[in-house]
Structures are given as C-alpha cells and as structure tokens.
Amino acid sequence: MKITIQKIIYPGRSLGLSENKTILTDEGLPGEIAEIIPLKEKKNYIEAKTIKIITPSPARITPACSHYRACGPYQYMDYKTQLSVKESQLKEMFPNTLISAAPSPEIWGYRNKIKLTVIWKNKKAGLAYHAPESRDKFIQIGSCCLVSENVNKFLASFIDLVNKENMNFIKKVEVRESSRGQACLSPAAKDLMVTTYPPVCRGGFKTRPYIEETVLGKTFRIGPDSFFQINVPMLEEAVKEMQKSTNQNKKETIADLYCGIGTFGICLSQYAKEVIGIESAPGNISFLKSNLKLNKIKNFRLYEGPCEKLFPSLMTSGIDTLIVDPPRKGLDNMLCQNIILSPVKKIIYLS
C-alpha cells in the first residue's frame, strides 16, 4: 500500500490517508510517498509499518547512530525540520498561543547524564538502552552521540573493567558530567560522577560525591540523586528568557515550585525582592542549601515538603511570577486548580 505522508504527530508517528482512512506509520516526512504494511486496524486509524520511502523529502538525512529509535524518533530528518515538526505539534495543542521553537546551541554531545543497563551475552557484558515501550528488551550500544567523547571513553573503560573483573552483579550504570570536565583517559574520572546499581566498592572507579556546573555565572553542586537539566546550553537560553520576562526592578516575588537544587530561583534571585522555593526530595534539598551558600543568596525562602500541600498556604503571599518545572507525571489536579485560583500574575511552565 502506498500513502502520502501528511504530517508528523506526537510522539513521532507519521500520519497519512488511504481511502479516507487515517494511517499511522513510522519514519515518514510530510510530502513523502511511502510504501507501508498495515499491521493492526483500530477504531479510528490503522497502525502500519513503513517498508520503503518511494519519494524522499529533501529534509531526510542519514541518522547519526543506528540505535536512535531507543531515545528519539527524529534523527532521520534535519534539525531545522525537527524544530518545525515540534513547533507544529505544539501549535495544534495550543492553537491560540504564539509559539516559536528555539534551537539548541548544541545538537550532539549535549547530554550531561546517561543511564544504561548492563546486559550479558555469551558471558560478555555490554551497555544497552531499554527498547521503546518494553521493559525486558534491550538495544545494545557501543557509544552514544548525545553525550560527550569524554563520557563515551569512560563507558568503554567501564565495560572493559566489568568484563575483566567479571562484575556480573552490576545491573545499571549512570554517569553525570560537568561541562567543566577535562578529557577522561582512565576509569579514575575526577570530573565524572558515576553511580552503579548496586554500588561498586572495588574496581578502581574513583568518583566525586557531586559535580559542579555553571549556569550564567552561578555555580551549582549536583549530587547523584539531584534533578538537573540535561542540556546546559539550552538551559541557559531558557533562563535568559526567564530573566527577560521579569521586571528586573527587585520588587517582584518569584515562587519556584519543585525548585530542585535551586537552578531557576538562584539565577533569578538578583532580579527579585524574594524567591520562594518549594521542594520535597531530600537529595535536592541538601544541595539546594549548599548552592544558596555557594552563591551567597540571601533572598531565598525555602519550604520543605510537597508542593500540593504547601502551595495553598502561600497563595496570599503576593507571588508575582510562578515557575513550574514539575516531575514527569506533571502537575497534580488540585495544585492546578489552586494555581488558577491564586492571584499569581505570570506563570512560567517548563516540561
């Protein structure tokens, strides 16, 4: 069956029409003619698989890595088209909102964190991602183009040592890197923070209890359990936009829900009369307190506990700007209602 791809819908499915039936397939760009195989007919659409692109789009490129499907569905299109596709998806969700996609300063090697599973095949260890939509299938990788050469070198050294020492008890490894890091030439990586599951007490891997990262002149210590944005260059662009949106007259009260280690509140504190932060995770709170001292922030008021419980008592605190960067599950329904009922003048939402 041949179809013409009309558009790409979230989370990366290609949509086309055949005899007035909606077809959802994979890896087709708008305007392309694709040969597909129907897999399953649903109530409102047909699930399909693309087997051949008959008329390729000029925006189609060769993916940078063979396992890109495990972490993102868009590598087969150029970056300009990726931005256009994501912008179009958001405009469909929010039709009456002015939306413009901002490009990332870096499109490769930008991730400061990677978490991989250690798998064993024929008595040899390797590193792998979970296959999409699967808990028990894995895609083995040799390297990842989304992290730095420094991290890839470390991962190669790590898996070599796992094999050499037959560390078959290690199930996962997580590596965090500071942009301050120098080239890592051995497993003793002073600029990397490495966490294994279960923890390794032998094997020569020296790691720091935290790493330091700089965001627009502010220094942040980040622990193994701390939440921190994975793309620092893009984070800085986002913070610059936040700074532009404040009055910068030091008269505003800014509230930062799910404030983590204090990234946004600390970066905006110089423009505010007061910053109110709410955080419940102990791993974030301890580093937040360290970061407030490290950056000599005096106008930050911290509330420890769940946002859902603490925000209602702060609704009358004269909050001008509310920053919301919730966990993956999103905002609690009751919290949403309280935000709507509050006299907050401006909401900055990150996801």
Q: What are the pLDDT digits (tens) for 216-271? A: 999 999 987 788 999 999 999 999 999 988 877 788 999 999 999 999 999 999 99
Q: Which CATH class is domain 214-349?
A: alpha beta
What is the pLDDT, as a whole number, of residue 185? 29
CATH 2.40.110.10 assigned to domain 113-208? The reply is no
Q: How many helices (H) and strands (E) does the chain have?
A: 7, 17
Mean per-residue pLDDT over the chain, rounded: 87
- The mean pLDDT value for 303-310 works out to 94
In this prediction, residue 172 carries a pLDDT of 87
Task: Supply the pLDDT for residue 206.
Answer: 56
C-alpha 148/C-alpha 110 separation (Å) is: 7
Over residues 51-98, the pLDDT tens digits come to 999 999 999 999 988 888 777 789 999 999 999 999 999 999 888 888
Q: Where in the chain are the domains?
A: 2-93, 113-208, 214-349
Domain 2-93 and domain 214-349, same fold? Reply is: no
Sign of CA dihedral 232, 235, 237, 243: negative
| Residues 73 and 12: beta-carbon distance below 8 Å | yes
Q: Which residue has the tokens 């390797």?
A: 126
pLDDT of residue 18: 86
CB neighbourhood size of 305 (10 A): 12
Kindly state the tokens that stand for 198. Answer: 């279960």
| Cα→Cα distances 289→97, 149, 275, 298, Å | 37, 32, 14, 11
The rounded distance, in Å, linking the Cα atoms of 66 and 69 is 8
For 2-93, the fitting CATH number among 2.40.50.140, 1.10.3470.10, 3.80.10.10, 2.60.40.10 is 2.40.50.140
pLDDT, position 35: 95
Q: Are strands 252-257 and 272-279 parallel, antiparallel or unpaired?
A: parallel
